[in-house]
Amino acid sequence: MKIAILPGDGIGPEIVAQAVNVLNVLGESFEMETAPVGGAGYAAHGHPLPEATLTLAKQADAILLGAVGDWKYDTLERALRPEQAILGLRKHLNLFANLRPAILYPELAGASTLKPEIVSGLDILIIRELTGDVYFGQPRGVRIATDGAFIGEREGFDTMRYAETEIRRIAHVAFQAAQKRDKRLTSVDKANVLETFQFWKDIVTEVHQEYPDVALDHMYIDNASMQLIRAPKKFDVIVTGNMFGDILSDAAAMLTGSIGMLPSASLDANNKGLYEPSHGSAPDIAGKGIANPLATILSAAMMLRFTLAKPEQADRIETAVKKVLAQGLRTPDIYEPGTTKVGTEEMGNAVVRALT
Ligand code: IPM
Ligand code: MG
């Protein structure tokens, strides 16, 4: 089985190196090949998603990505910015289903900005549609308004849209995920205002007929944001569109205290996937050896579970991560007095030790 390793920018290379070490001690024979992506892709080949990187990603069975983005590249035209690599990979590989679990490890309950009783034991799954919506809708751009109160003026515009097939397939993923959990699904929309999301709601309701064992409810995005902060444990699985999911998943991540702990998977219809930490490239701490590698290591575990069909290896990694947390090891982002502050490499090595 071949894994494409795309370290990317900022802390990406440091945290990916630790996940690769973990994969290497599992006793499996994975073939791994590394390629530049994001700012690193631009620096090496003049494009954030170089042709060779895309080809490797297509050939591989699974992709492990660090993070992309660096202030250095912020002044480039949009098509050349690091973020385009990730959007391009999602689109070219049809990775429409984004799974973002938000789990609070009991050891880290004090790291949340919310009261421990609100968040302790939190275990929710956000499923974000990843290749449609206003992110990819055409047309988009800046034009001269031809009607309305601001006629003749320049206006920026994007297109929000969802095809029926796109809604159906993500709804199936969500209902099936809920079936494996607590059998409760919340579909988040803005059906009270947007045509796109009234349609979304109607289709999700239709698909529900095939999953009578799952309890479905619908919530508007504004209310869902509020409920997520007020009583997050009331949720089990949340399914929503690309843009709402982007926002909601960052909020959910913060409930757990550190975005440095959360993995993610982006899957196509055959469970081929791209795995990456939910956090970004953190250029401010790049090269300092203090980034938390656990989200990337847990992303490798998700990869073993969903794409490589090695659930027992995924369990092993997750158990090892719990073990190092129980040992009191903490990178600075999750440090609390009374625990032991360690760097990226020390944390990675501790997980490796806990595995063997
Ligand atoms: C994410 C990120 C991306 C997104 C950016 C980097 C394009 O915020 O994966 O959540 O908006 O999808
Ligand atoms: Mg985001």
Q: Which ligand is nearest to the CA of 48?
A: 1
The answer to whether 250 is a known catalytic residue is yes
Enter the pTM of the model: 0.94
pLDDT in tens for each of the 356 residues of the chain?
999 999 999 999 999 999 999 999 999 999 999 999 999 999 999 999 999 999 999 999 999 999 999 999 989 999 999 999 999 999 999 999 999 999 998 888 888 889 988 998 899 999 999 999 999 999 999 999 999 999 999 999 999 999 999 999 999 999 999 999 999 999 999 999 999 999 999 999 999 999 999 999 999 999 999 999 999 999 999 999 999 999 999 899 888 877 788 999 999 999 999 999 988 999 999 999 999 999 999 999 999 999 999 999 999 999 999 999 999 999 999 998 999 999 999 999 999 999 98
Residue nearest to atom 1 of ligand 1 (CA): 246
79 vs 81: CA distance, rounded Å:
6
Q: Which ligand is nearest to the CA of 128?
A: 1
149 vs 70: CA distance, rounded Å:
39
Contact 312, 300 (CB under 8 A): no
Residue carrying structure tokens 């892709």: 41
pLDDT value for 257: 76
- Can you say whether the dihedral through the CA atoms of 320, 325, 329, 335 is positive or negative? positive
Angle at CA of residue 203, ends 202 and 207, nearest 5°: 120
pLDDT value for 254: 85
CA of 265 to the centre of ligand 2 (A): 13
189: nearest Cα among 114, 245, 113: 245
Residue from 190, 201, 272, 310 carrying the catalytic annotation: 190
Residue nearest to atom 2 of ligand 1 (CA): 246
- Angstrom distances, CA of residue 260 to CA of 39, 191, 298: 21, 33, 10
CA of 61 to the centre of ligand 2 (A): 25
Instruction: Determine whether the annotation assigns residue 270 to a binding site.
Output: no
Residues of the chain with CATH 3.40.718.10: 1-96+268-356, 99-260
* 83 close to ligand 1 (CB < 6 Angstrom): yes
Contact 255, 308 (CB under 8 A): no
CATH superfamily of 99-260: Isopropylmalate Dehydrogenase (3.40.718.10)
* 246 close to ligand 1 (CB < 6 Angstrom): yes
Instruction: Determine whether the annotation assigns residue 168 to a binding site.
Output: no
The CATH class for the domain spanning 1-96+268-356 reads alpha beta
* 87 close to ligand 1 (CB < 6 Angstrom): yes
Contact 110, 147 (CB under 8 A): no
Q: Which atom of ligand 1 lies closest to the CA of 69?
A: 6
Q: Cβ neighbours of residue 80 under 8 Å, at least 6 residues apart?
A: 42, 46, 47, 48, 73
pLDDT value for 20: 98
CA of 313 to the centre of ligand 2 (A): 28
Contact 292, 15 (CB under 8 A): yes
The answer to whether 91 is a known catalytic residue is no
